[in-house]
Structure formats: C-alpha cells, structure tokens
Amino acid sequence: MTDARRALFALGAVVCLIVVASALPAADPRLDPPGTDGGDVVAGQWDAGERNTTDPAQQAADASTDEQPSDDETDTERDIQVSGSPVPGTRLTVRTESPDPFDTNTITVDDDVVGDTDPFGNLDVPVPYAEEMTIGIRGEETSRTVDIETNATIYEQSPAVPNGTLSITASVETEPVPGAVVTVDGERAGSTDSEGDATVPLPPSAGPVEIGVERGPVTAERVVDVPDPTVSFATPMLFPGFPAHVVVSADGAPVRDARVEIGGESAATTGGDGRAMVWLPVEDSATVRATVGTESATTTVGNLYFRLAAVVVIVPGLVIGGVLTYLKLAALRQRRRAEGVVAVFVGLAGVLEGLSGAIGRLRRSLADWPKAVASIGRPSLSGLGGWRLPALGTAIAMPSLGGIAASLPSFGSLRDAVSGSPNNSSTSSLGPNRLVAWLNGDESEEADDAVEEPTDTDEPAVSLTPREEIRAAWHAFVDRLDVGRRETVTPGTVARRAIRDGFPADSVRRLLAVVREVEYGGREPSPDRVASARAAAGDLITFEEDEADPPRAEDGSTGGSGE
C-alpha cells in the first residue's frame, strides 16, 4: 500500500468516526449516574447499575402502566389549521399535526366523514351552503368551527325593458351560486344553472323591480329600474309616401316585439334589433306610436314636402353645378398648361435659331479676315518723317458684336409669352417696320424680302397665339406713347392719354375694347377680335402727329372701371 492510499484510508476512518459520534444521543447532564442519589460517583457503581436486580413480573407491570396515557395527555387537543376562503361551493385545505410522521387522520365536516389526510396531514374539504361548518378528527374530540360567507351578489347581464327578460348572475365573491331560487317581486321566476346564471321575465310596466336569489342561508337582493320605452326614426331622410325605419328602445337598449302604429293603424312589429319599417303617408307630417306592454311612446316628423323638394331640386343642382365647375376649371387649367408648354418650346426654338445664325455670321466674318489683312498698305521707309501707321481701323473688317447680339431673340418676350401678363411688353424684339407689316397682315411679304436680302439685323419669325397677338398689338401702341412704368398703369388711363395727345379716338376705343374683353372679361380671343386689334394698332402706330385731332375732354367710354 502506497503512502497516498494510507492517507486516504486514515481520512476515511476519521470521517466515519465523526459521523457515528454525531448520530449517537448525547448524555443528558441532568441525569444522575446509575447507583447514585445525587451524590458523588463511586468507582464501580456504573457496572453495578447495569445489572438487572428487578423481578421480571414487576418489570412487565411497570411497562403496561407506562404505555397507558395519562389524563393530561388525553385531554390535550391537536391543532387543526384551515387555509382558504370559506365560500360556499369551494374547498378548504385542512391540516392536522400528528406526533408520528406519515400518520393519517380521518377528517369529518359536521360529523360527516369527508376523507383521510395525506402523509403530510393535509386534506381538501368542501364548503357547504350553510352559515358555519365544524371540522373534526374522527375518534378524537379535537374540532374547529369556521364561519361561512353567505352574502351573495346579483349582476345584470342584459338591459331591462318592459315586458322583456332579464339575464342575471348570482355569486358569492367570485364563486357562482348554482341551484338557487330566483324571485321577481317576491314571486318565484326560475332558478340558477350550474354557472349561477338565470333569465327571468320582467313586468309589462316601467318602474323598479326587486330581484331575489336564495339557496339556504345564502341570499341576495337587487332592485332593477325598468325604463320607459322611446321611439324614433332611424334616419332624417324622410319623404311622403316613402318607407321609413323606426327604432324602439329603452335606455338605449333595443325593445323586441314592440307594436308600431302610424296614423292610428297597426303597421309593424319590431325585431330583435328594435327596428321596424313603416310607410309614411302622403302628407306633410306623420306620427308614429310604439306600444310595449302597458307602456307606449310617440314621435312626430314634419316638413316632409320640404325634405322632398330639397333632395329633388337643391341637391341635384348642387351636384351638377359642382361637376360643371370642376370640369370647366380642369379644362382651363389644362389649356393654360398646354399654352405655357408650347410657348416655352417656341421661345427655345427661337433662341436656338438666333444663336445658330449668329454663329454663321461670325464664321463668315472670320473667313473675310485674310482679305482685310491683304489690303493693309506697306509703310514708307523714305524717311522718318514719312513714316505712317496703317489705318487698321478702316482696313480690318471686324465682326459686329452688336449685330450678333441683335440677331438673338428677346429673352424678355419668351418670359412674357409664358407668363401671359398684359402689362408686360412682348414686342420689344420686333423692329418697327416688321411690327407695322405684321399688324397690316404683310408678314409674308416681309418674310420674302428677308429671304431675298438677308441682313445682320434680321430676326426669326415668332409664332404667337391669338391672345399673345392682342397683347403684342396693345404693347406696340403703348410703346408709341412712351408710357413709363406700364405695369402700374391701367388700359383706361393709357387710352385717355392717347386721346388727349390727339390719336384717333375710334381706333383707341376699338383696341381698348378688345383688350378689356379678352384680358379682363374672360372672352375668347377670336379671329375677329385679333383682326380688330391688329387693324386698330396698325392705325395708331402709323398715325402721324401732324394729323392729330385737336385735344378734347375725356369721355365716359374710356373710363369705366379704370381698367
């Protein structure tokens, strides 16, 4: 055996000795050693005390006497513990204390055996429908009395209506009371089921009703208020000679099997939802009466003809007017959007065309430079006094930047065409000759001339809409008057000034009328109006001041609203 094994063996022996020593009972210091009467211990007395010197018959008698319990031990009651709420229909847990482990006891409730405890002394016992219960141990006088909760509560599960039924639930705390007798105003009306529920009839009249529940000592009472019935129409859309739905209710709850009358004649009976359909008379008012048991309710509706007129005339008119207005606004918005898009592309095309022409002219000018340089004279070297610098300014034909800039279309006209403002000039890019020709309808001739004799100041033709043509004519006339800050001046003011300056009054009024009709009156720019505006503007632009009429006072034809 190795040293390690010897050490483990010794350690195990020590542990075993400790376990055995702890298991042995300790000596009671209060006991005297054998053979002593409280004096000192004498040597050898322990051995003498161990010898049995008593008669065996005496020992048997003493043993039988020790086994019989004394009067004090017989009178001692064992404790009975109860856990749980003593509610009828539930179970309580009973626990008994036994001196012997795993010993069972038979438990009784009101002297009736209910079962034996488990090895731990526990047993669940039922709680009877009584005021109290006595728990005991059979064969012993140990017992305990427990008070039982007997106050029940009634809960309403449905609304109360006259001549209807009421659903209730009876319970003690949260435990239902099954098999209980239910009474209505002291008369038996039914009994509760296993869940403590019951349905009882209500009287045909409104008022308080006393509901009672009883099972032995467990009782409950509740006073239920039965409300008066009411009748009303389900919708305000009521018309003479048309069907209508009525609703009969009691405190918001629908009333079933209510009899509905209209004009004193029975019309219908309500269903489970409290509704019924009746036909209204061909009159301006109607009265409906609902009867429930001995209770009744009435309601009257008037102005039936007015309701019919409102629906037949006013509502369709509003609907049609709204639809037409929407369609008109949608079409106007679409047209303006289309005009704006077209104007943008037309203006962009004009810009690109003008830029292309300018680049072409610049290229041609650059191509002529060698000829200009060759025409420069050589300086004379005959003497310093005869030295002269060449006239480069007249010899070199530089491209005209002014001509290039003039060839570009007016960006302001593009903006004005898109914005559509009548107070902004859109003809600043048109030359005077072309503008007069355009107003007189000679655009084709001018275009032909432009093709035959191209110059650096030619401008691309601008495609204008009828509305833009009228605006161009007006702004050409305003340019002739040299009006400052035209954005703040009304057309009427411009017309009065022109008449004061001697311009033909008829042409001024004709052009002013067209502008007012199109820009402020919402009229369409028809071809006749465009032609009239062109003619009037042409007369005013070509008018010479020496032909002016004598100044005269303003007349009301150009005043108006001051537009």
Superfamily of domain 77-147: Immunoglobulins (2.60.40.10)
- In angstroms and rounded to an integer, the radius of gyration of the C-alpha atoms of the chain is 61
Q: Is the pLDDT of residue 211 over 60?
A: yes
Task: Extract the tokens encoding 101.
Answer: 């482990």
- Which of 36-40, 280-284, 521-525 is predicted with the least confidence, judged by mean pLDDT? 36-40
Other Cβ atoms closer than 10 A to 289: 19
Q: Around 1, how many Cα atoms within 13 Å sit in the side-chain half-sphere?
A: 8
> CB of 38 within 8 A of CB of 32?
yes
Q: Which of the four pLDDT bands, split at 50, 70 and 90, describes residue 458? A: very low
- Which of 152-166, 228-242, 521-535, 536-550 is predicted with the least confidence, judged by mean pLDDT? 536-550
Residues 6+ apart with CB under 8 A from 329: none
Same fold, 77-147 and 230-302: yes
Q: Backbone phi, then psi, for 232, in 5-degree steps?
A: -155, 165
Strands (E), 293-363: 295-301
Task: Extract the tokens encoding 177.
Answer: 């009371």
Phi-psi region of 344 (alpha: psi -120 to 50; beta: other; left: phi over 0): alpha
> CB of 512 within 8 A of CB of 495?
yes
**Model confidence over 471-507: pLDDT tens digits?**
898 888 888 887 877 778 888 888 898 899 889 999 8
Task: Extract the tokens encoding 332.
Answer: 């106007």
Q: What residue spans define the domains of the chain?
A: 77-147, 153-226, 230-302, 409-558
pLDDT the model gives residue 145: 92
Superfamily of domain 153-226: Immunoglobulins (2.60.40.10)
Q: What size, in residues, is the chain?
A: 563
- Which of 28-42, 185-199, 279-293, 298-312 is predicted with the least confidence, judged by mean pLDDT? 28-42
The average pLDDT across 328-348 equals 75
Distance CA(550)–CA(502), nearest Å, equals 6
SS3 501: coil
> CB of 297 within 8 A of CB of 281?
no
Residue 214's nearest CA partner among 147, 133, 152, 132 is: 152
The average pLDDT across 86-115 equals 86
Q: What kind of fold does domain 230-302 have according to CATH? A: Immunoglobulin-like (2.60.40)
Q: Is the pLDDT of residue 225 over 70?
A: yes
Distance CA(423)–CA(443), nearest Å, equals 25
> CB of 107 within 8 A of CB of 139?
no
pLDDT: which is higher, 396 or 331:
331
**Model confidence over 155-170: pLDDT tens digits?**
999 999 998 899 999 9
Distance CA(93)–CA(79), nearest Å, equals 14
Distance CA(248)–CA(41), nearest Å, equals 108
Q: Is the pLDDT of residue 415 over 80?
A: no
Residues of the chain above pLDDT 70, percent: 67
pLDDT the model gives residue 443: 46
Residues 6+ apart with CB under 8 A from 6: none
Q: Which residue has the tokens 């869940």?
A: 195
Largest CA distance in the chain: 186
Q: Flag whether the pTM goes above 0.75.
A: no
Instruction: Give the DSSP H/E element, type plus range, for residue 373.
Output: helix 369-374
Q: Is the pLDDT of residue 408 over 70?
A: no
**Model confidence over 25-74: pLDDT tens digits?**
655 555 555 554 544 544 444 444 444 445 555 554 454 444 444 444 44
Q: Which residue has the tokens 């359909």?
A: 277
> CB of 124 within 8 A of CB of 109?
no
pLDDT: which is higher, 66 or 181:
181
Q: Which residue has the tokens 């204008």?
A: 464
Q: Which of the four pLDDT bands, split at 50, 70 and 90, describes residue 349? A: confident
Q: For the chain, give the mean pLDDT.
A: 75
Task: Extract the tokens encoding 231.
Answer: 């009748």
Question: CA 274, 277, 280, 285: dihedral to nearest 10 degrees?
Answer: 10
Task: Extract the tokens encoding 212.
Answer: 């009672």
Compute CA distances 465 → 265, 468, 471, 560, whole Å: 74, 5, 10, 28
Distance CA(44)–CA(35), nearest Å, equals 9
Q: Around 265, how many Cα atoms within 13 Å sit in the side-chain half-sphere?
A: 7
> CB of 276 within 8 A of CB of 261?
no
Compute CA distances 546 → 477, 501, 503, whole Å: 18, 11, 10
Instruction: Give the DSSP H/E element, type plus range, for residue 224.
Output: strand 218-226
The average pLDDT across 164-183 equals 94
Most confident of 139-143, 283-287, 351-355, 454-458: 283-287
pLDDT: which is higher, 144 or 66:
144
Q: Backbone phi, then psi, for 195, in 5-degree steps?
A: -95, 5
Distance CA(385)–CA(370), nearest Å, equals 30
Amino acid code (one letter) for 501: D
Q: Is the pLDDT of residue 318 over 60?
A: yes
Compute CA distances 84 → 146, 148, 217, whole Å: 11, 11, 20
Distance CA(146)–CA(92), nearest Å, equals 10
Q: Which residue has the tokens 């542990």?
A: 15
Most confident of 176-180, 368-372, 468-472: 176-180
The average pLDDT across 519-542 equals 88
pLDDT: which is higher, 413 or 458:
458
Compute CA distances 269 → 227, 242, 250, whole Å: 20, 18, 16
